């Protein structure tokens, strides 16, 4: 079964529906994204499914992957990239939500390559804002509220939240791109159940836990470190209860989840943050401090509750 066009074709400088694709904005595992301008100066985004020859079988923790989830393990898959675009279009098109760009159309060209045309949203990725040191508490409040707005507009989950998939527009409003997927999926091996299109570094449980993904982004923005990628030492000891909890979780998800047992205390990274913010950063990950130990603890019920705590600290 074909997973899309069989040849690697760049659409750069092509004219599609009256728009000349002048800039390749990004290239991810399953698609390329171009900026197109028409003769009148109007701009559109074109998200184009990659062909089968452009896909690889690598499973990395830091980028979006196609995974077949099995009891205690997972393996990489090669999804039908046209079908992925159709799933995204069906999921988001028509939603009354300012947190996502308008999906204008989904088309298959004469080479059987699917592409989606979207409204152009000028701005910078949250990743670049974080790297510039400008992602503050106010920025992250707005991002949390935008994510919650999307989830409240009629979808069960985003599934691939990460700084690269969030744009901070020139007006300062966050806009969210590139959803993940959990469920049955058409692949080059046929229809497979229990698949995931997501980024394990943000979804280490390999479940659509957007709250945990946002918590990781919050750490990156406010502490300049991903909680599962920190090499800093910690003044906290992983409790036996937490160690057992993470061992069980890693048996059904990614081994990355074990990294929660050795995360640094937020105040060890940034001593000047408030005790209240430290509590929030840990609670968002389902953690708390007891004496000198890191222990499992109830997390927020949803991103709205987390956003409310963040907003209160701004008051």
Q: Among 12-16, 190-194, 217-221, where is mean pLDDT lowest?
A: 190-194
Confidence of residue 6 (pLDDT cuts 50, 70, 90): very low
Chain CA centroid to CA 296, Å: 24
Q: With contact defined as beta carbons under 8 Å apart, do 198 and 64 qualify? A: yes
**Contact at 8 Å (CB) between 45 and 119?**
yes
Short-list 204, 222, 220, CA closest to 212: 204
Q: Cα(39)–Cα(138) distance, rounded to whole angstroms? A: 38
* Higher-scoring residue by pLDDT: 62, 77: 77
Structural contact between residues 214 and 280, judged by C-beta atoms closer than 8 angstroms:
no
Q: What is the CATH number of domain 15-314?
A: 1.10.510.10
Under the banding of pLDDT at 50, 70 and 90, the label for residue 230 is confident
What are the domain boundaries of the chain?
15-314
Q: Regarding beta strands 237-238 and 293-296, do their DSSP bridges make them parallel or antiparallel, or are they unpaired?
A: parallel
Q: What is the pLDDT of residue 57?
A: 61
| pLDDT tens track for 75-99 | 888 889 999 999 999 999 888 898 9
The pLDDT of residue 64: 78
65 beta partners:
198
Which of 45-54, 94-103, 249-258, 278-287 is modeled with the greatest confidence?
Answer: 278-287
**pLDDT at residue 8 in the model:** 52
**Region of residue 222 (left: phi > 0; alpha: psi -120 to 50; beta: else):** alpha
Give me the percent of the chain exceeding a pLDDT of 90. 68
pLDDT band at 54 (very low <50, low <70, confident <90, very high): confident
Q: What pTM was computed for the model? A: 0.91
Band the pLDDT of 213: cuts 50, 70, 90.
very high
**Banded pLDDT at 72 (limits 50, 70, 90):** low
Is residue 206 left, alpha or beta, with left meaning phi > 0 and alpha meaning psi from -120 to 50?
Answer: left
Are 86 and 196 within 8 A, CB to CB?
Answer: no
- Structural contact between residues 256 and 201, judged by C-beta atoms closer than 8 angstroms: yes
Q: Could you give the strand order of the β-sheet that contains 293-296, starting from the edge strand earlier in sequence?
A: 237-238, 293-296, 287-290
């Amino acid at each position: 079964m074909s997973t899309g066009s069989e040849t690697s074709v760049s659409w750069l400088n092509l004219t599609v529906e009256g728009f000349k694709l002048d800039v390749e904005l990004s290239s991810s595992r399953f698609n390329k994204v171009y900026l197109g301008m028409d003769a009148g100066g109007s701009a559109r985004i074109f998200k184009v499914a990659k062909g089968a020859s452009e896909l690889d079988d690598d499973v990395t923790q830091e980028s979006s992957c196609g995974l077949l989830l099995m009891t205690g393990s997972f393996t990489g898959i090669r999804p039908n990239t046209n079908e992925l675009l159709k799933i995204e279009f069906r999921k988001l098109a028509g939603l009354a939500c300012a947190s996502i760009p308008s999906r204008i159309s989904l088309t298959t060209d004469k080479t059987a390559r699917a592409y989606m045309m979207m409204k152009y949203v000028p701005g910078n990725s949250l990743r670049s804002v974080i790297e510039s040191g400008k992602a503050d508490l106010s920025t992250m409040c707005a991002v949390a509220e935008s994510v919650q707005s999307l989830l409240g507009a009629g979808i069960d989950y985003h599934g691939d939240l990460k700084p690269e998939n969030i744009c901070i527009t020139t007006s300062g409003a966050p806009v969210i791109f590139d959803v993940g997927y959990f469920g049955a999926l058409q692949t080059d091996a046929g229809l497979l159940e229990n698949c995931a299109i997501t980024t394990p570094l943000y979804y280490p449980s390999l479940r659509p836990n957007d709250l945990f993904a946002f918590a990781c982004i919050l750490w990156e923005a406010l502490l300049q470190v991903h909680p599962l990628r920190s090499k800093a030492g910690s003044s906290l000891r992983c409790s036996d209860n937490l160690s057992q909890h993470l061992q069980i979780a890693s048996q059904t998800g990614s081994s990355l989840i074990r990294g929660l047992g050795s995360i640094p205390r937020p105040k060890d990274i940034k001593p000047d943050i408030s005790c209240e913010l430290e509590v929030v950063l840990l609670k968002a990950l389902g953690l708390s401090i007891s004496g000198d130990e890191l222990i499992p603890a109830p997390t927020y019920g949803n991103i709205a509750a987390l956003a409310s705590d963040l907003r209160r600290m701004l008051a």
